[in-house]
Amino acid sequence: MRSKANMKNGMYDLLDWLERERSDHIGLFWKCVFKDSIRNQYVTLQKLHISLLDGSFQFEPNLPEKLEKEETEKRKRKEPSEEENGKGNSVKKKKKKKTRGVGEEDDDEEQAGPSGQATQKKKSKKLCFSSPLKRGEKGNIWTWGIFKNQIPVTCGDKEGFLNRQRLAKGEKCIVVEKQWYTPGEFEKFAGKASCRNWKLSIRCKGTTLGKLIQEGHLKVKSYKRSTKAKKSLLSDRVPTVSAGEGDDDFDEEEQDSSSDRQSSTNTTEEEDDAGEQTEEQSDDREDVHKTVFKVTCGDVAATLHKKRFVSGILGKCIRTEKSWMTPVDFVKEVLCETDVSWKKDITCEGKPLGDLIEKNILSCHSLFCDCRLCAPDSEDLDNQKNDDECWICRSEGKLVECDYCPRSFHQTCHLPHVEDAILEDESLWACTFCVFTKYKESFSSMETTAAALSCNISEHMQQCQYLLLYLYNTDQQQIFATNPTLYLSDQTTVVTTPMWFGRVAEKLQEKQYQTVGDFVSDVHLIFTNCASYNRDNPEFTAMGVTVKEFFDREFENAFKIQEETADS
């Protein structure tokens, strides 16, 4: 089928037939869908798989009654022969999808089997990165398809993205430069801690989050910082606040707080102390939901991963740029001392790590615990040296671990792809990042950018592969990773040549580029298409400009361009 509408209807018909006639095969169907080789190709399936595992998946609402009747009548009009033909096509396409090689052309990818395509179509609405408005029209951005999962927010001069689902579950929901924050933490990070009301201080395009919550655009579960701020400002009484009072009208809160400031000084100080204690309790509750903590020792920063934490000497839970370490090893390496107190020397947001343990945010395992972290065998110890998820797509699965750094990769996420023969080889394996770092000094310098672009790519394949992997990791939201025509049906009316990171990776892997300039042209085409299609969406266009600037800057670093120095 070439028509996307017919393809969509056909896929749903096949799924209905599977559910109705082969319900005992549904488990096998999903096992095929969620194979690593398929999930690595489609970010939609990766997110669906994760949401099903962690229980965050929400079923779509039922179809309108009129549509259900039409579907029922349509099924009744079908003849058995048509169903048999549909069944035959399903088997053939599934087999083709299962055995499809990495290097096949895009036409084959568009004709992929129902396991990938059907799920892609069902989830495509949640990955719409464009405004549903027509050109020239205006509207609130939190209603656009591009911001269905997350919206841009600001607090003071700090900018970030708020994840709607995380907010609804009471988790860390605002990401800034790869770091997640709770609303209260983001408020403090922006220097607005004195506001003590993130629903007023954090805004989306000038509109407070409190207003978006009141109007039903956002759902919030356990963040009630506005209530606690109100509680600390009251001077004549300590109110008993119910669980739902955190969503009261904000104008009333401001009036109450302004009138309460006129009370006596002594009572105000007492209530302020109570408010500070309440706020600390709120921060503690927020910390319970964290899985990764930013920690420091001396002037060295790292991240502590809660699921790996066991004690000071067991469980490599602290991730630095170069390795995974236990808390004791981390302190010894940084302070160069043998007698250390890791609970005091390691701090998290200015507080000793021991505070998190006392508040049961981090739990030390029993001395008699025999889990794989407390009593690891040689294989477990080896696995603790590397990340538990792919450095490129940020998902778990069958991973290839670098022997020289803590990074891990899926076989097809890494460039060049990691062949099975390499896995069977017992010799040490280095990822592209490590190889690039090791041999960077031996690369010849380029006088100008033009000179670098004219080079034969076979002589600089290492730099190009590194640059593309660098882009993948920079694009944390994976906006430019997959084929945009899969979820933007009208993009071809504006863009003549769609391009995305995955396509560039295929061409690199298949050695289709002749010069470095050909490679760079395709990368730049991704951001040019983004600007053309999102001409009326400056927020989305700015995201493309930011990633392009990262690429251009790293390109000069990788090819050691000298023209900037000469100009200065």
- Give the pLDDT confidence of 385-441 residue by residue, as tens digits: 899 888 888 888 889 999 999 999 999 999 999 988 888 888 889 999 999 988 888
Nearest to 468 by CA among 424, 401, 415: 415
pTM above 0.75, yes or no: no
DSSP letter at 417? -
Query: Is residue 191 left, alpha or beta, with left meaning phi > 0 and alpha meaning psi from -120 to 50?
Result: left
Architecture of domain 443-559: Up-down Bundle (1.20)
* pLDDT reported for residue 505: 92
Minimal CA–CA distance to 548: which of 526, 515, 519? 526
pLDDT computed for residue 89 by the predictor: 41
Q: Compute how many other C-beta atoms are within 10 angstroms of the C-beta atom of residue 199.
A: 28
CA 364 to chain CA centroid, nearest Å? 29
Q: What is the pLDDT of residue 257?
A: 41
Q: What pLDDT is recorded for position 277?
A: 53
Query: Cα 195 from chain centroid?
Result: 29
Contacts of 109 (CB under 8 A, 6+ apart): 41, 100, 483
pLDDT for res 469: 92
Integer-rounded Cα radius of gyration of the chain: 27
The single residue listed with the structure tokens 């999930």 is 39
Print pLDDT tens along the chain (568 aa): 778 788 888 888 888 888 888 888 888 888 888 888 787 777 778 778 777 776 666 655 454 444 555 555 655 555 554 444 444 443 333 333 333 343 444 444 444 444 443 333 333 334 444 444 444 444 577 777 667 788 889 998 888 888 888 888 888 889 887 788 888 888 888 888 777 788 888 988 888 888 888 888 888 875 443 333 333 322 333 333 333 333 433 343 443 444 444 444 444 445 455 555 555 555 555 556 678 899 999 889 999 998 899 888 888 999 998 899 999 999 998 888 777 789 999 999 888 988 888 888 888 888 788 888 888 888 888 888 899 888 888 888 889 999 999 999 999 999 999 988 888 888 889 999 999 988 888 888 888 889 899 999 988 998 999 999 988 888 877 788 888 877 777 777 788 888 989 899 999 999 999 999 999 999 999 988 888 888 878 877 888 888 889 899 999 988 988 765 444 4
Nearest CA to 293 among 248, 352, 241, 253? Answer: 352
Burial of 58: CB neighbours in 10 Å, binned 0-12, 13-18, 19+: exposed
pLDDT of residue 415: 92
- Which tokens in the block code for residue 50? 């994760």
Domain 291-380 coded CATH 1.20.1060.10: no
pLDDT of residue 13: 87
> What are the φ and ψ backbone dihedral angles of 155, each rounded to 5 degrees?
-145, 110
User: Would you kindly state where each structural domain of the chain is located, as residue ranges?
Assistant: 147-215, 291-380, 443-559
Element spanning 505, H or E: helix 501-509
Q: Which string of DSSP letters, residue by residue, matches 24-69?
A: GGHHHHHHHHT-HHHHTT-HHHHHHHHHHHHT---PPPPPPHHHHH
> Which of 342, 261, 251, 243 lies closest to 295, judged by CA?
342
Instruction: State the Cα–Cα distance between residues 522 and 468, nearest whole angstrom.
Output: 11
The confidence score (pLDDT) of residue 74 equals 57
* Pairing of the two strands 207-208 and 408-409: unpaired
Domains 147-215 and 443-559 share a fold: no
The confidence score (pLDDT) of residue 142 equals 74
* Fold classification of 147-215 (topology level): SAND domain (3.10.390)
